[in-house]
Homo-oligomer: A and B are copies of this chain.
Amino acid sequence: MEIALKSDRSDFNPPARAGATPINPCAACGVRDLSICGVLDGEELKRMNDLVTEARLSPGQAVFYEADPASYLFVIVEGCIRLYKLLLDGRRQITGFLYPSDFLGLAMQDRYAYTAEAVSPARLCRFDRGRLEALLEEFPHLEKRLLGIASNELASAQDQMLLLGRKTADEKVMSFLYLLSRRAYMKRQPADVIQLPMSRYDIADHLGLTTETVSRCFTRLRKQGVIGFDDPHQVAILDWMRCADLAGIDEGMAPNTRINT
């Protein structure tokens, strides 16, 4: 199955030269504890280290394309990645944004189900799929971790369906912001000011809206005092009650007041 792509693939990041790219040893990795590698001990980590190479991408570069053979799995080390699917006429749905420690490349039937592109300059760990699968035989808890990750993604996907199918434009935008804030909080990063590395266009394609509508929602919510921003890529949630109300959360608390979730 071939997908229609206006853009050529000349910007495709060449595979890092095998064995030639020195990579930060996994033991020193900043995102390890949060990511799939967190379940591995010293010796296992060493084995894992053997089959990884680093990939660097600049904004707009693709990690892989929908329907490509799924030869690699990835872990984001730095930057933001967007995943999307296209209709034949070019309409785009961004199924998610990935951040450091997120896992990427679970595939159905050896083909990627979506395209992955860098939003901001990004660094990824790239694992050879075959060799990683071989490693799974040896480390069953790694496989268990993968299943856990897949379950989590499934749950997020269902949340996103609820958003796309049943929420209003304002609710969609507010839910999106709330989710990003919560994600930052979970990773012990500042959650008061939300960083939005992606464009309004990207946000629109993620929420099933148009750029114009997204922009209008932002200004409307700002006028109402729910959010605040000067830079369109840095937004603060001001009225947490109203935010939770719009996002469809039944607890109206700022993320840093929550006990656990």
Contacts and interface: CB of A to CB of B under 8 A. Distances in A.
Contacts of A146: 147
Main SS class of interface, A: helix
Interface residues of A, number: 45
A154 interface: yes
Given A150-B154, A154-B154, A158-B95, A1 B165 contact: no
A87 B166 contact: yes
A148 to B, nearest CB: 8
A2 to B, nearest CB: 8
Interface string A203-228: 00111100000000000000000000
A157 interface: yes
Interface string A87-123: 1100111010000000000111000011000000000
A160 interface: yes
Contacts of A155: 108, 113
Contacts of A140: 137, 140, 143
A27 interface: no
Interface string A129-168: 0000000110010011011001111110111111011110
A166 B90 CA distance: 10
Residue from the set A85, A143, A158 with the largest chain B CB neighbour count within 10 Å: A158
Given A154-B150, A158-B113, A250 B108 contact: no
Given A87-B248, A140-B140, A248-B87, A107 B151 contact: yes
Interface of A: 1-2, 4, 83, 85, 87-88, 91-93, 95, 106-108, 113-114, 136-137, 140, 143-144, 146-147, 150-155, 157-162, 164-167, 205-208, 248, 250
